[in-house]
C-alpha cells in the first residue's frame, strides 16, 4: 500500500481501521481506478506525508495526490483538523478531499463542508455496498473529475 519516496500517489487514503482500509484499497484496485495508493493510519501521518515533514521530510514531490479519502475519527490528529490544514495551505487547498466516515453526526457534516470538503460519504456497513461506494467515488474523482495541478 505504500509507494516509493518520490512517487505521487493517485490516492492518499487516511484510515485507521485496517478492515476499512483493506476494503477501500481492494475496491480501487479491483476496478483499476488507482495505480498507486498511500495509506496513512492517523492524521499526523497524513499531514507529514502531504507537507513532506517528519518521516517524509526527504520526500520530493511537486504536487499532491489526485484525491484524499479521509476518515474523521483518527488517532493523533482528527480528520477535521487534517481537512482544515489541507484547505488552509496554498500547496494543498485545491486537492479534492472526500470524507469517508461512519459518522452520521450533522455537526461533522456541516463542519466538513465549512472547512472545504469536496464530498461527504457515510461508509456503508455492508461489504458489497462499501465496495460499490468506493468504486463509484473512484470512478468520478479519478476518471471523470478534472483538477488543477499546482
Grid coordinates belonging to 24: 477501500
- Residue 98 within any structural domain of the chain: yes
- Residue 83 within any structural domain of the chain: yes
- Residue 6 within any structural domain of the chain: no
Q: Convert the pLDDT of each residue in 93-147 to its tens digit.
A: 999 999 999 888 999 999 999 999 999 999 888 888 888 888 888 888 888 888 8
- Residue 4 within any structural domain of the chain: no
Cite the DSSP H helix spans in 37-102: 43-51, 79-88
- Residue 5 within any structural domain of the chain: no
Q: Which range marks the domain in which residue 95 is found?
A: 11-144
Identify the DSSP state of 146.
-
Q: How far apart are CA 1 and CA 78, in angstroms?
A: 22
Largest CA distance in the chain: 40
Q: Would the pLDDT of 6 be above 80?
A: no
Per-residue pLDDT band for 35 (boundaries 50, 70, 90) equals confident
Residue with grid cell 484499497, as numbered in its chain? 25
Report the percent of the chain where pLDDT is more than 90. 59
- Residue 133 within any structural domain of the chain: yes
Other beta carbons within 10 angstroms of residue 73's beta carbon come to 15
H or E element at residue 31 = none
pLDDT at 128: 86
Q: How many domains does the chain contain in total?
A: 1
Grid coordinates belonging to 48: 507529514
Give the CATH number, domain containing residue 65.
3.40.50.2300
- Residue 3 within any structural domain of the chain: no
pTM for the whole thing? 0.89
| Average confidence (pLDDT) over 75-99 | 95
Per-residue pLDDT band for 1 (boundaries 50, 70, 90) equals very low
- Residue 23 within any structural domain of the chain: yes
Closest CA to 135 of 108, 105, 100, 86: 100
Specify the higher pLDDT residue, 33 or 117: 117
pLDDT at 72: 96
- The partner residues of 12 in beta bridges, in order of sequence, read 38, 68
Q: Would the pLDDT of 148 be above 60?
A: yes
Amino acid at each position: 500500500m505504500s509507494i516509493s519516496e518520490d512517487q505521487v500517489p493517485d490516492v492518499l487514503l487516511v484510515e485507521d481501521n485496517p478492515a476499512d482500509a483493506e476494503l477501500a484499497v481492494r475496491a480501487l484496485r479491483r476496478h483499476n481506478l488507482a495505480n498507486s495508493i498511500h495509506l496513512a493510519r492517523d492524521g499526523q501521518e497524513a499531514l507529514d506525508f502531504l507537507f513532506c515533514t517528519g518521516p517524509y521530510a526527504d520526500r520530493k514531490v511537486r504536487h499532491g495526490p489526485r484525491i484524499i479519502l479521509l476518515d474523521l475519527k483518527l488517532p493523533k490528529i482528527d480528520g477535521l483538523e487534517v481537512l482544515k490544514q489541507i484547505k488552509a495551505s496554498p500547496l494543498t487547498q485545491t486537492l479534492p478531499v472526500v470524507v469517508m466516515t461512519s459518522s452520521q453526526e450533522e455537526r461533522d457534516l456541516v463542519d466538513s463542508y465549512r472547512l472545504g470538503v469536496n464530498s461527504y460519504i457515510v461508509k456503508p456497513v455492508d461489504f458489497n455496498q462499501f465496495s460499490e461506494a468506493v468504486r463509484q467515488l473512484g470512478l468520478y474523482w479519478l476518471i471523470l473529475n478534472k483538477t488543477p495541478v499546482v
